[in-house]
Amino acid sequence: MHPKSCRHPRCAGGANVVLTGAQRAFLDSLRVAHLATADRHGVPHLVPVCFCVDETTLYITVDEKPKRAGIPLKRLRNIQENPAVAVTIDRWDEDWTRLAWVMLRGTADILSGGEEHARAQARLRLRYPQYRAMDLAPLPVIAVRIRRVLSWGALYPLPAQRPI
């Protein structure tokens, strides 16, 4: 049971949350996220992904990179069984004053077409030039509906790295 002031998704009625300016700038500055899914038995699966984010949703597209033919990706199978996901975007540095991360928790939908699917893939093509030569339209998009945002560390823009 959670108190009335709780921001837990079940308490907040599943309402999406908005990123702060610092969190948004941090996400926009980084290129790789890590998507955590779990199957119906709670067995975790973690993969690096390309992403883009709007105010309340993070998008990931399946791309044309070689995968096992005829078998849906584990991340897609997991989301079908258990839509609760987490995505972490982090910055590592040997200078630990530069460390930071943002974790987004939410529920994932698999989009196979439609306006939101097309809009997400267009945004991903703008962000990642590698996608521009790929036929993404028939491929699914994972839409993570952000329900909780956690962050830590130096989210603000950092000066050029100093030699160690």
Which distant-in-sequence residues (6+ apart) come within 8 Å of 70 by Cβ?
A: none
Confidence of residue 40 (pLDDT cuts 50, 70, 90): very high
Residue 76 has pLDDT above 50, yes or no: yes
CATH number for 21-151: choose from 1.10.10.10, 2.30.110.10, 3.20.20.70, 2.60.40.740.
2.30.110.10
Q: So where are the chain's domains?
A: 21-151
pTM of the model: 0.85
User: Is-contact 129 95, C-beta < 8 A?
Assistant: no
| Residue 3: per-residue pLDDT | 37
Residue 4 has pLDDT above 50, yes or no: no
User: Is-contact 59 53, C-beta < 8 A?
Assistant: yes
Of residues 67 and 81, which shows the higher confidence score?
81
Residue 50 has pLDDT above 80, yes or no: yes
**Mean pLDDT, range 138-164, rounded to an integer:** 85
User: Is-contact 48 128, C-beta < 8 A?
Assistant: no
**DSSP 3-state of 76:** helix
Q: How far is 57 from 36, CA to CA, in rounded Å? A: 16
Q: How far is 117 from 111, CA to CA, in rounded Å? A: 6
Residue 129: how many other CB atoms lie within 10 Å: 8
Residue 70 has pLDDT above 80, yes or no: no
Long-range pairs of 155-163 with CB within 8 A, sequence gap ≥ 24:
155/22, 155/23, 155/25, 155/26, 155/100, 155/102, 156/22, 156/25, 157/25, 157/29, 158/98, 161/93, 161/95, 161/98, 162/95
Alpha helices by DSSP H, listed for the chain, are 21-29, 74-81, 115-127
